[in-house]
Structures are given as C-alpha cells and as structure tokens.
Chains A and B, each alone.
Chain A
Amino acid sequence: MAKLQRGESECELEKGVRVSVEMSDSSEDEGPEEVAFEESRSAALKSEEEKLQAAKREKELLKEKRRKRQQFFQEQKKKRLLSDTLLEEFDTVPQKQKKLSDDRDEEKDNKQQKLTKSKKKKASRSLQGNCSVMRLKDESADSSMQQSAMDFIQARLYGSGTLRTTNAELLSLEKKRGVKKGAAVQFVNKKWGAEQKAKAEKSNKRFIHRQKLVTT
C-alpha cells in the first residue's frame, strides 16, 4: 500500500514540473527571457535533489511505521506469553473434544462405541424416555433440501409443459378403443367425475334460470 501511494505522489510531482515548464514555454511567446546555462542547471539539480530527499523521507516514514508495528506485535506476544499457563489449560480442553469428534468420523472402534454408549446413557438419564438430542436447524435444512429435490422431480415429470392427461381419460380411451367397448369411466363408476358432474349441474341450473329470465 505504502509503495503504491508513493508511486502516485511521484507521478504528481513530475506532472507539476512539466506544467511549470509548459508555462515558461507559453511566456516565451512574447520574447525569449535570457536564462543563463548555470542557473538552469542549478535549478534542475535542485529539483532532482528535492525529489531524492522526498523519496528518502517517505522511506524513512515507512520504516518507522514498520518498526512501530513490529513493536506492537512483540508487545502483543509478550501479553500472550504472560498467560501461558492459562493458555495451556485452554489448549488441553479443546484438544480432547477434537479427538472425540475425529474418532466419531473415523467410525466406531470398540472404545468409541463404549464412549458413545455411555453418552447415550447419560442423555437418557437426563432426558425422560428414549429421547435423543439433535440440532433442529440441521433437520429443517435437510428436510427443506429433500423437499426441493422432490419438487424438482415433480416439476420435471408433472410440471407445466409435460403434456399430461388424467387417469380417467386414459381408462376411458381404453374403453373406447379396446376390444370391449364401454362408456367413459366417469359414467361407469359413480365415484368418479363428481366434480365435472357438479359443474354440469350448476351450468344446467344457470341455463334454466336464464331461459326463465328470457321468457318473463
């Protein structure tokens, strides 16, 4: 970061110099001003020196920053080192836990089975009946994933654009085309097509009603 910033500042400096040169060029239109070679040379050298010095300054600033940071880190470390004994205590506890979980992943050796068994027993002691503990969050996530997978299948097989018909229609078609001809299924089986029948009756009623309206 620091380097980049430095680079930018250098560019700006250079631009400034150029602009001043141009300005002097524009003023030359009226007539050349006499500038001695020595003078111009010294001016150029000066500007060079200034540049170098600026760079040096920035470098030093950066160094100091780094030094300060280093110091800060060291102090931090010292602070940590102070609580070494405490830290060790902390360290030992999580390590044990890790071991347990690792073993569980690595599958059941006899020892681990015993361990888990004892755990179960503990759980059953504290919980009434044969209960087990699990995270609700996991279950809901799993079931929502399963649901979305099922929805995917449903959408692919029965969603829009899949050109599906109904079972009643299929069976009726078989009756129509088969060797044994018969009426459509919804007429044969009274349980079926109840919706359509209700609809038909409704529209029938409406029709009659309308007819009456027309006659009166």
Chain B
Amino acid sequence: MGEFKVHRVRFFDYMPSAIRALAFQPQREKIAVARTSGSVEIFNCADRFFQEKIIPGREQAATEALAWVGDRLFSAGLNGVISEYDLENQKVKYTIDAFGGPIWTIASNQQGTHLAVGCEDGTVKLFEVCEGKIQFEKNLAKQKGRILSLSWHPSGSRIVAGMMDMIRVFNTETGQSVHRLLVERGIGASRSVECVVWGVVYLSDGTIISGDSSGKVKIWDDLTGTLIKSHQVTKWDVLALSVSQDETSVVAGTSEGTVVQFQFLSVVLGQEDKEWVQTRIFKNHTHDVRTVLELGTAVVSGGMDTQFVVRPLLDKIEERGPECVLRKIQFPHRSLVSCAKKAGLLLFQYPGHLELWRLGESDGHGASGSVLPVKRKPEKLLHLKIKGEEHICCSAVSPCGEWIAYSTVASFRLYRLHCDNNNVSITKVSKLPKVLSSANQICFSSDSSKLFAASTCSSVHVVSLSQTVHKFVCTLKPKSGSVQAVHLLAASEDGKWLASANSDREVQIYNLTKMKLHSTVPVYNSGVTAMAIHPTTNNLFMVHADQQVFEYSIEEKKYTDWSRQVQRNGLHYLWLARDTPVTNVTFNPKNPTHIILHDAYMFCIIDQTLPLPDSSSQFYNQLTLRSLPEKDRTKHSHAFKMCKTFKELMFVELMEDQSLVAVERPLVEIAAQLPAPVRQKKFAT
C-alpha cells in the first residue's frame, strides 16, 4: 500500500487533567465533564459519546461540581464562584460570587427552579434560577463545618447535606435543619480523623444513601433519622455516588478505582419487600474514581487517571449496538497538533503554552519496518507561554511555517516567526483587525495568505495576511442562522474553498473568490469529527462520529459516486464498531485516490480504486495478503488498509516530502505522571 518514511514523534508531552465532576442532561442526552484544569467538555451520549464541545479552563478555577438546569449548565468551584456557561460560544457566560468561601458542591432541584450550593463556611445557599441569571434567595441554617455534598429530594421540599462526621436534612421552606444523622468514623487509626461524607443521594421514598471516607455506603431513613444498613465497600474512601433515574440502582466510586453498584431488589424471591443489595463491582480505573453517573443503561465514571469510562450495563440493553461496548476516552476528539507541511514544523497546544518543533531528518534507506539513523535530531524551536489566566482554546501554524496564531476566550494573538538557520525570533503582530477578539477555530489558507478564524454564530472571519498590513476581508455567515460555534475548518489547496462544520452538524462550503456561501452539505445526524478538501478533485471528505464517511463534490454540489456507493454498500461492521472517532483526514498528493485517516489506535489508507469490503470479507487483511502470492492479492484486497503499528496516536499527517508524521502519546507515560494510587496487597507479590 505504499511505503512512507515515518517520523515517530514522542515528544508531545500531552497531559490530560483529572476528571472532577460529571453531570447528565437527560433530555438532550448530554454529559458535561469538568476537569481539574477548569475545562468543561460536553459529550453526546446519543452520538457515540462524541466530544462535541470543549470550554477551555483557566488557572485557579478548581471546578468542583456541575449541575444542569434544563439546557443551562452551571459549575461551582473552590474559588468560591458559581459560573454559568455559554454553551453556544463555548465560554463562561457570567460568574457570581456566593460569598461563602470555597464551594464544594452544587445541586439543582428536579423542578429546575433552584440551585443549592454547599460552602466551606457551613452554609447551604439557595439560588433562584431566573431568565438569564441566578439570584440569591436564602441561606439554610448555618452549620459548623464544611458542606461537601448535597442532594435534593425529588419533591424539592427537602435537601440533604453531607458534612464532616454527619449528615443533615434541611427543610427548604423554613431553612431549618430537620434531622442530624451522625456518621461513625473508621476503625483503628482513622478513629481520630473526622469522617467526610463525600456523597449523598436523596430518594423519593425518603431513603438517604451516603458514601463516606470510612469506606461505607450507608442507607438511612429520613422519617426516623435512623441507619437502616451499612455496607463496607472499601478500605479507602467512597468518593462519589449517583442514582439512576428510576431509583433502582445506585453506583459508588471509590479510591481503589472501583465502581460498586447497589440495586433495589427483593431479597426473597416473589416477595414485595425490597432492599438495597450490593450487586456488582466494576474496575476500570487504576486511580481514585472522583465522580460517577448512573445512566440506566451504562455507568459513566471519571477520576484521577483522567479517563472517561463508559461501562454499559448489558442487562439493561436490549439490542446489540454501539452502546454495548466499553469505552475509555483518553484523548480529546479534537486535534491539539497542527503542522506546517512545507516547513516541517509541528505546533503542540498545551493548556498554558505552545511548543514549536522542527522535525528531525534522516537520509538513510532501510527495509520496511526498520529504524533509520537520525541525521538531525528534532529540535524545539519555540516555547510560547501565554499571558493571563485563560487557557488556549485553539491554535494553528501556517503551512509555510511563518505564522502562528492562537486564541483564548479573551484574546486572539498572531505571531510571525523568523527562522534563519539557527536563529529563531518571533514578533507579535500588533495591529490586528478588531473583529479578531477571539476564535473557536483557526485555519490558514494553503499559501498562507489568508487567515480564517471561526467566531460566534458559526461565522468565519477572513483576514488577509501580508508582510506589513493585515486587512480584514469579510465575514462569512451561514444562511441557517445557527448560533453554535464552528469546531472544524478546512481550506482547499487552490485557495478557492473553505468548509466549516459546527456543533449543529451543519457543514457549510464558502467560495473564497466570491466571498460568499457556496453550498450546504445535507445535514447528517452525527457530528463531523474530521474533514478535509481533496487537493486535486476539490471533493470534501467528511468522517462522522458514527464512523460513516462521505465525499461531497463541491463543484457539482452533490455526493460523489464513490460516496453513494459506500452508502449503498454499507461499511464493514468492524469499521463501524471502532470506538474512537477519526480525528484527522489527509491526502496523498502523489496518489490522489488515497485518503489517509487516523483515530487513536490506527491509521488507515482508503484506496478509492479498490472495491469496498463486504461483511463476509476479512477486514484486517494485510497479513493474509502478504502471505498470498502476487496475483491472488488483487482478488482479496479491499479499499481499507489499516496500520496498527503506532498506538495512542494523537496526530497523523503526510508532509510535503512524502514522509508521514505520527505523533504518539504512550498512555504509560501519562500514567507515570498521575498522582499516587492506593497500595493494595496482592497475593504473592
């Protein structure tokens, strides 16, 4: 399938931050994930857990909890403020100081009228959710000691708060404490240490379930205020609790990295009396599970090991489909690497800085699979630290390697790079057009003469770049009037076309010579994860979250014959079952029928001249083909050529000189930088 010289890049030290909170929005089936860096991500459960939106974090945000109220998302953190997010433009809409010190938890009631926050100073504060804002209503009776967890009774009349050594039940009308449930401390050395109630859940039948630092899940009755049952789950802490919507199942996340499920079952067969029984234990994490979600059909968990894990509950799923696989999402579904194809430069995007590297060189020739001697080592040219507290939301380097642009929520910066032999210098472009205040996605035209910056309401600003003057050309806007932000941009090689994809799954194609909308690709019901315009045929190639591929002819404004054939024929089931989305599409200029795609575990070349695989044929067939004699190969070969030599891929791109760049990030190296796991005694070690 063609040989490439490969740059196996392992110097991108991408380090994801730990997952701190999860919140589920049942109507839209979306999950919001808060990380310790302060960033918030939105995953779409209905669309194979595709990461639709990323709201960049900021320093000192220390987000501790998330809550949905209808379609609105709120967060609270140790910096003592409550924030509402602008999900369309992917930024913080406003913040309100709760004036109670650091906030540990935030919870919304089922009616969607109030938010409750638990503060360090021992107050539970109620906020009324109004149109476009939230308003402080009252404090519930102030307690000694911090409020670490909160849960509303489904009726909204009562609220339960987990504290140090105790749980309190409040009446939300009067604000008075109704019950005080004392939680016993652990045995032995931990007797002198206060017991922290990390999680509470209030069920509609008046049962309170709590998880605490002595490793117990306790079930209480709120009528009498008594303990019904106590389950010792772990020797360490129970850090998170979540209940399913039908209130028949509760999951608890522990420091051991396990998720323990409890179910409301009748202990004796055929009898009505039901009890909370510990049923299953899932171990998908190596480190502390800081937050869990019970979705009914799956258990979602996240924690210190930075992985977002979706564990399906197979007894609740009726059909076999994409939802019955275990998913571990380690990498963002968006490229953090951009590449200057002509100059051989790579730009790595970290939360607080950018790194520019020049690729190494080798003049050796070797057999397939051999390691070539390196003539010039890769070198780090630039370490660009950003100013201010906001983290970078997007960045790009121009194909010629002369321009670097990045954007945070608050600012947009463009730099010019001067590279002569060994001297690298950088100058900030000071006079930028005023429209470029911030961007959701940045892209350069292939000749580096234009800069495209995606902005609010799916619009794209076009700025022409030159040595001296940078002029704002125009703003391209879709006709649909979508307010969602653009998350992907693709410019054509000849500089005529620009494609943009937004979170509403719309793909717009703009004509750059006339500077107006050319056509809109029919909306498909899954998000676009990667797209690119073919350099010779000007076909737009798109890959969706459900692994479907489409090819759209821009000039003819219709799907190409190949794309129609793919849809008619259907893709191979093994391709459709892949669990990580394709994050980059690139082409081979020497071989225009080849399309190179990659996801986290493989890269693949689609040869459009070869027949598509049918369901009976072997999908991963390279090894078999190699063993076959030359003439039989053509009979057995099909369009999809997979390569799994490189694992944990973050980026694959074909450079101008036909060498392939593969940026890897081994998970072991991420694991090495994580905080300490618990010490478990294993037999015979």
Using a CB–CB distance below 8 Å, which chain A residues touch chain B? 107, 142-143, 145-146, 149-150, 152, 156-158, 161-171, 173, 176-177, 185, 189, 192
User: Please, could you name 8 A-B residue pairs with CB atoms under 8 Å apart, sorted by A?
Assistant: A107-B133, A150-B62, A157-B288, A165-B679, A168-B672, A177-B682, A177-B685, A185-B668
- Chain A residues positioned under 8 Å from B592 (CB to CB): none
The 5 closest A-B pairs by CB, nearest first: A165-B679, A149-B102, A164-B676, A149-B78, A146-B78
Report which of A107, A173, A185, A189 forms a contact with B685, defined as CB distance below 8 A.
A173
Counting chain B CB atoms within 10 Å of each CB, the highest count among A163, A169, A192 belongs to: A163
Using a CB–CB distance below 8 Å, which chain B residues touch chain A? 60, 62, 78-80, 101-102, 104, 120, 133, 135, 146, 189-190, 193, 196, 213, 235-237, 255, 286, 288, 668, 671-680, 682, 685
A150 vs B60: C-alpha distance when bound (angstroms)? 11
Given A149-B120, A161-B190; 20 other pairs, CB 8 A cutoff: A145-B102, A146-B60, A149-B146, A150-B62, A157-B255, A157-B675, A161-B193, A162-B678, A164-B678, A165-B678, A165-B679, A167-B673, A167-B674, A167-B676, A169-B679, A170-B286, A171-B671, A173-B685, A177-B685, A189-B672
A146–B79 touching, CB < 8 Å? yes
B60–A161 touching, CB < 8 Å? no
A-B contact count (CB 8 A): 76
Specify the main secondary structure of chain B where it touches its partner: loop
Minimum C-beta distance from B685 to chain A (A): 6
Report which of B189, B196, B672 forms a contact with A171, defined as CB distance below 8 A.
B672
A145 vs B120: C-alpha distance when bound (angstroms)? 9
A97 vs B668: C-alpha distance when bound (angstroms)? 60
The chain A residue sitting closest to B288, CB to CB, is: A157
Minimum C-beta distance from B283 to chain A (A): 13
Counting chain B CB atoms within 10 Å of each CB, the highest count among A143, A145, A149, A176 belongs to: A149
Minimum C-beta distance from B616 to chain A (A): 31
B101–A165 touching, CB < 8 Å? no
A170–B78 touching, CB < 8 Å? no
- Chain B residues positioned under 8 Å from A161 (CB to CB): 189-190, 193
A192 vs B672: C-alpha distance when bound (angstroms)? 9
- Chain B residues positioned under 8 Å from A145 (CB to CB): 80, 101-102, 120
Minimum C-beta distance from A142 to chain B (A): 6
A146 vs B674: C-alpha distance when bound (angstroms)? 22
Report which of A142, A163, A168 forms a contact with B679, defined as CB distance below 8 A.
A163
B135–A107 touching, CB < 8 Å? yes
Minimum C-beta distance from B438 to chain A (A): 15
The chain A residue sitting closest to B130, CB to CB, is: A107
Minimum C-beta distance from A10 to chain B (A): 46
Contacts A156-B237, A157-B255: A165 and B676 contacting too (C-beta < 8 A)?
Answer: yes
Minimum C-beta distance from B257 to chain A (A): 10
The chain B residue sitting closest to A142, CB to CB, is: B80
B102–A146 touching, CB < 8 Å? yes
- Chain A residues positioned under 8 Å from B135 (CB to CB): 107
A170 vs B676: C-alpha distance when bound (angstroms)? 9
Contacts A142-B79, A142-B80: A158 and B676 contacting too (C-beta < 8 A)?
Answer: yes
- Chain A residues positioned under 8 Å from B671 (CB to CB): 167, 171
Counting chain A CB atoms within 10 Å of each CB, the highest count among B196, B213, B676, B679 belongs to: B676
Minimum C-beta distance from B324 to chain A (A): 24
The chain A residue sitting closest to B673, CB to CB, is: A167
The chain A residue sitting closest to B305, CB to CB, is: A167
- Chain A residues positioned under 8 Å from B133 (CB to CB): 107
Contacts A146-B102, A149-B102, A173-B682: A157 and B677 contacting too (C-beta < 8 A)?
Answer: no
A176–B685 touching, CB < 8 Å? yes
A150 vs B79: C-alpha distance when bound (angstroms)? 10
Minimum C-beta distance from B571 to chain A (A): 32
The chain A residue sitting closest to B669, CB to CB, is: A189
Contacts A145-B101, A146-B79, A171-B668: A166 and B685 contacting too (C-beta < 8 A)?
Answer: no
A156–B102 touching, CB < 8 Å? no
A77 vs B133: C-alpha distance when bound (angstroms)? 48
A168 vs B668: C-alpha distance when bound (angstroms)? 10
- Chain A residues positioned under 8 Å from B255 (CB to CB): 157
Minimum C-beta distance from B675 to chain A (A): 7
Minimum C-beta distance from A112 to chain B (A): 13
- Chain B residues positioned under 8 Å from A177 (CB to CB): 682, 685
A164 vs B678: C-alpha distance when bound (angstroms)? 4
The chain B residue sitting closest to A108, CB to CB, is: B133
Minimum C-beta distance from A156 to chain B (A): 6
A167–B62 touching, CB < 8 Å? no
A176 vs B288: C-alpha distance when bound (angstroms)? 22
